[in-house]
Amino acid sequence: MQYYWTLGSVLRTSRVGEKDKRLVLFSRELGRITALVRGAAAPDTHWATSFEPFSLLYLRLYERSSYFVVTGAEERVVYARILSSLSRSLKGMAVNQLVECFAGPSVQEPSLFAHHVSALSHLNLASTTEHEDLVFLQFCLTLLSELGFGLSGLNCVTCGSPIDGPAYFSVTDNGFHCERCCDASERGPLSPELVCFLRNPEGPLDHRRTLAGIALVTRLLTEVAGRLGVGPSFEKLARNTTTLFRFS
């Protein structure tokens, strides 16, 4: 029997019977995996308060035919401030759901794992709703880059040329247009500040532009989900994101 040690973030949990828990984990060494923790749901066990979302654990486990079994754990970090706020919890759940949707099963993705942990850490420290929303947008843009659809260089979906001047977003084409290819039905160009942030998601951005950015990347992730064959599982998340951030 082969044992593994891995650092893992708990994405989602569910009960199995009266005493056990099933975890969906994003692991630095093993990628997205499902693991069973025997006795973790029993109220008198020392593991009763562990293995919850927004926990970072160092785990010892072994592999069964279609899942892993946890045999030991050391708690490294619990992002307690995420749990203390409904707003932060909902956005943290959205981050976890994005990882669960797009991370390949049992595919090692250390860079995405690092970005995921960083996003939870920044969300845990966020002091305002505006900061929470900015953290979510940054993670979505990082996720697009990790999937190979980054926006560091914006190209027009019609002519294919790099967009150096004003950029327009086409809802019909679900992509960006240059000034030459945009049509009269499209709204005005995106603000230079938002275009700059989409290309390099660092630094400040006002809240109105942050929400506009989240609306854009949600549409782009919907298209990417279709290309990667995870469209149906992403649809519910996209609807929830629209409600959570109150844009249409």
- pLDDT the model gives residue 136: 98
Report the predicted TM-score, pTM, of the whole model to 2 decimal places.
0.92
- pLDDT the model gives residue 48: 61
Residues of the chain with pLDDT under 70: 46-49, 184-186, 247-248
Cα radius of gyration rounded to whole Å, the chain: 20
- pLDDT the model gives residue 232: 93
Domains along the chain? 3-78 (2.40.50.140), 81-152+200-245 (no CATH)
- pLDDT the model gives residue 49: 64
- pLDDT the model gives residue 125: 96
- pLDDT the model gives residue 47: 66
- pLDDT the model gives residue 18: 84
Region class of 204: left (phi > 0), else alpha (psi between -120 and 50), else beta: beta
Instruction: Phi first, then psi: give them for residue 108, nearest 5 degrees.
Output: -70, 120
Cα angle for residues 220, 121, 232 (degrees, 5° grid)? 30
Q: What share of the chain is helix, strand, coil (3-state, %, to 5)?
A: 40, 25, 35
3-state helix/strand/coil string of 124-186? HHCCCHHHHHHHHHHHHHHHHHHCCCCCCCCECCCCCCECCCCCEEECCCCEEECCCCCCCCC
Buried b (16+ CB within 10 A) or exposed e, 173-182: eebbbbeebb
Whether residue 140 contacts residue 64, with contact meaning beta carbons closer than 8 Å, is answered with no
- pLDDT the model gives residue 1: 76
CA distance 146 to 112: 7
- pLDDT the model gives residue 165: 87
- pLDDT the model gives residue 32: 96
